[in-house]
């Protein structure tokens, strides 16, 4: 005999069900009824927890952002103690591993990216703002590692840490994208070779 879930648990249950459905069928093609059914609740119950389908969508997004940040945070912790190059490799591996391991969920990114341009103006602003903030957080982490490498003398090449961080992050997203279109794409192997090349670029002064 299972107890009735708390309000918070019930809400998360719906968010997870919605995340799954949105990832699978896309936001526009997912019926609220399907989310409810996936969460094993009645259609009306969804509206007890979310004002509208849009509201649910944005909440799923926030949940997703939260998770993404936690992944980054954990990766950072796992990389502590290593030198700059080691940190970069470890950090990249963690991000890519998460993408590879949550391919099903990662699909949501595409939905969110699209929504950030095509949603209603109010929603769009919220998406855009959140994206900028999240990307900035990632960028700071990566740029700090690069700066540390330059400071320690490990990275000989003089670069703008933020620009390079942007490029590295871009590559992560872009590789994730390619793995989305091509199931045979080996994102982990590809990313591994790639980050090492970038690090090689950082370690050698241009002659």
Taking CB within 5 to 8 Å according to partner kind, which of its own copies, DNA, none is near residue 135?
A: its own copies
| Pairwise CA distance, residues 137 & 190, whole Å | 25
CA 48 to chain centre: 28
Contact of 43 with 131, CB cutoff 8 Å: no
Would you tell me which residues interact with DNA (CB under 7 A)? 4-5, 7, 10, 29-33, 36, 41-45, 47-49, 52-54
Taking CB within 5 to 8 Å according to partner kind, which of its own copies, DNA, none is near residue 163?
A: its own copies
Question: Shortest approach of its own copies to residue 109 CB, angstroms?
Answer: 9
Residues 6+ apart with CB under 8 A from 66: none
Question: Shortest approach of its own copies to residue 162 CB, angstroms?
Answer: 8
Contact pick of 12, 13, 26, 37 for its own copies (by CB under 8 A): 26
21-48 burial by CB neighbour count: b if 16+ within 10 A, else e?
bbbeeebeebebebbbebbebeeeebee
| DSSP assignment string, 12-45 | HHHHHHHHHHHHHH-STT--HHHHHHHTTS-HHH
Contact pick of 17, 84, 111, 145 for its own copies (by CB under 8 A): 111
Question: Shortest approach of its own copies to residue 3 CB, angstroms?
Answer: 21
Q: What is the dihedral of CA 114, 164, 92, 191, to 10 degrees?
A: 80
Taking CB within 5 to 8 Å according to partner kind, which of its own copies, DNA, none is near residue 63?
A: none
Contact pick of 135, 147, 150, 154 for its own copies (by CB under 8 A): 135
∠ at Cα 143 (140, 145), nearest 5°?
Answer: 110
> Per-residue x/- mask for its own copies, residues 167 to 206, rule CB under 8 A?
xxxxxxxxxxxx-xxx--x---xxx-xx-xxxxxxxxx-x
CA 201 to chain centre: 26
- By CB under 8 A, name the binding residues for its own copies: 23, 25-29, 107, 110-111, 113-120, 128, 131-132, 135, 157, 159-160, 163-164, 166-178, 180-182, 185, 189-191, 193-194, 196-204, 206-207
């Amino acid at each position: 005999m299972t107890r009735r879930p708390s309000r918070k648990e019930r809400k998360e249950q719906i968010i997870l069900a919605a995340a799954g459905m949105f990832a699978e069928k896309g936001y526009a093609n997912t019926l609220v009824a399907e989310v409810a059914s996936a969460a094993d609740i009645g259609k009306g119950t969804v509206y007890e927890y979310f004002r509208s389908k849009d509201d649910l969508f944005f909440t799923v997004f926030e949940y997703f952002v939260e998770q993404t940040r936690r992944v980054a945070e954990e990766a950072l912790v796992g990389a502590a103690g290593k030198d700059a190059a080691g940190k970069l490799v470890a950090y990249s591996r963690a991000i890519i591993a998460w993408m590879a391991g949550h391919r099903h969920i990662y699909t949501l990114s595409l939905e969110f990216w699209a929504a950030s341009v095509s949603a209603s103006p109010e929603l769009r602003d919220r998406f855009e703002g959140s994206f900028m903030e999240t990307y900035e957080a990632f960028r700071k982490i990566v740029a700090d590692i690069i700066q540390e490498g330059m400071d320690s003398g490990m990275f000989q090449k003089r670069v703008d840490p933020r620009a390079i961080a942007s490029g590295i992050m871009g590559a992560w997203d872009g590789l994730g994208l390619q793995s989305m279109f091509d199931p045979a794409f080996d994102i982990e192997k590809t990313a591994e070779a790639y980050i090492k090349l970038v690090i090689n670029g950082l370690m050698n002064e241009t002659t």
